[in-house]
Amino acid sequence: MSKRRIRKMKEAILLVKDLSVSFHMYDGGLEQYDLKVISNLTLDVRPGEIVAIAGSSGSGKSLFAHAVMGLLPENAVMTGKVFYKGKVLSQKDKEALRGTEMALVPQSVSYLDPLMTIGAQVRGTKPNRQIIKAQKEIFKRLHLKEETEKLYPFQLSGGMARRVLVATAVLSGAQLIIADEPTPGLDLEMALEALQVFRELADAGKAVVLITHDIDLAFHIADRISVFYAGTTVETAKAADFLKGKETLRHPYSKALWEALPQNGFKPIPGFQPYAKYLPKGCLFSPRCPLKTKECENEIPMTEVRGGYVRCIHAD
């Protein structure tokens, strides 16, 4: 049986369907409006898979993670559905599963509890022998000295704190791990080691979402890549397609991202990602797109093209 058929047969651990996130905003006190920062976002992650999310700053990567984990701020309104192993999750379900079934490696190291020693927060309040053993192993692997256990968060460097967050997610035993930028502040060797840890979790049957600016590393470690632009997915396809190059990709923005990599010529993408308050009609990439036509002003759905999914009417 082909690998693809096996993938299709396995039920997704995470399925996010038509996710939209808006914020209630107040303009100068009187004027109120809704700022839609994520729209029509769909993504699935199956057991054994790493799906990497690539996209520039402000494209909605962290909010996607927070929506799945039930961590959106009070003034956010979410529509769409988050399924975990086939079951729709309510806000209460998310809170109950977070930390046990689903774990987040947060983008900000300020998520560490400032009043708790590292050992206590990584192992949980009632650690058994097995957890203590696993903790020692993962610390060693991530080059965290044994004494790190006794330290408080303020005593850690940024890179150490990030490795502690990775260790916490690994030890949680969660089936779904969303790592939001786990590698900044780590040197290349450490970053590769951390990514290898995620690869092994996936190989053991877990589902991993890896949010990263380091798309070159992601192309090598992930199974599939999802490209976010201005709060939605523009292309989701096999990592192999991203490694092969521009021709195998489907969306003009994915192609442009590929060309912006140093090894592919460092070609910058002209223009800017639009701000949520001033989104163009229809295709959100159209103001920067060389293929733009009048039809791009219509609502553009995700369609299957050459085994991947793309939100572009000109893709073939």
Ligand X SMILES: Nc1ncnc2c1ncn2[C@@H]1O[C@H](COP(=O)(O)OP(=O)(O)OP(=O)(O)O)[C@@H](O)[C@H]1O
Q: Which residues bind ligand X (CB under 6 A)?
A: 23, 35, 37, 55, 57-63, 73, 107, 276
Closest CB to ligand X among 103 and 215? 215
Q: How far is the CB of 267 from Ni ion (least distance, A)?
A: 25
Distances (CA, A) of 143 to 131, 137, 146, 257: 18, 10, 9, 33
Q: Which two tokens stand for residue 234?
A: 């523009």
Q: How far is the CB of 211 from ligand X (least distance, A)?
A: 7
How far apart CA 229 and CA 273 sit, in angstroms, is 7
Closest CB to ligand X among 61 and 238? 61
Closest CB to Ni ion among 46 and 162? 162
Q: How far is the CB of 26 from ligand X (least distance, A)?
A: 11
H-helix segments, 10-150: 61-69, 91-97, 118-123, 129-141
Q: How far is the CB of 35 from ligand X (least distance, A)?
A: 6
Exposure string of 9-43, with b = 16+ CB inside 10 Å and e = fewer, is eeebbbbbeebbbbbeeeeeeeeeeeebbbbbbbb
How far apart CA 41 and CA 251 sit, in angstroms, is 16
Contact between 148 and Ni ion per CB under 5 A: no
Q: What type of residue sits at position 285? A: F
Closest CB to Ni ion among 49 and 180? 180
Q: Which of 39, 42, 62, 254 forms a contact with Ni ion (CB under 5 A)?
A: 62
Exposure string of 126-157, with b = 16+ CB inside 10 Å and e = fewer, is ebeeebeebbeebbebbebeeebbebebeebe
Contact between 183 and Ni ion per CB under 5 A: no
Q: How far is the CB of 14 from ligand X (least distance, A)?
A: 17
DSSP category for residue 98: B
Closest CB to ligand X among 23 and 83? 23
Report the partner that residue 73 touches, choosing among ligand X, Ni ion, none (CB closer than 5 to 8 A by kind): ligand X
At residue 104's C-alpha, the angle toward residues 156 and 149, to 5°, is 30
Interaction with Ni ion in 74-133: which residues (CB under 5 A)? 107
Report the partner that residue 182 touches, choosing among Ni ion, ligand X, none (CB closer than 5 to 8 A by kind): none
At residue 110's C-alpha, the angle toward residues 104 and 112, to 5°, is 65
Closest CB to Ni ion among 62 and 135? 62
Contact between 273 and Ni ion per CB under 5 A: no
Closest CB to ligand X among 266 and 278? 278
Report the partner that residue 37 touches, choosing among ligand X, Ni ion, none (CB closer than 5 to 8 A by kind): ligand X
CA 210 and chain centroid, separation: 5
List the one residue out of 73, 78, 80, 82 whose CA is nearest residue 22. 78
The residues of the shown chain that bind Ni ion, judged by CB under 5 A, are 61-62, 107
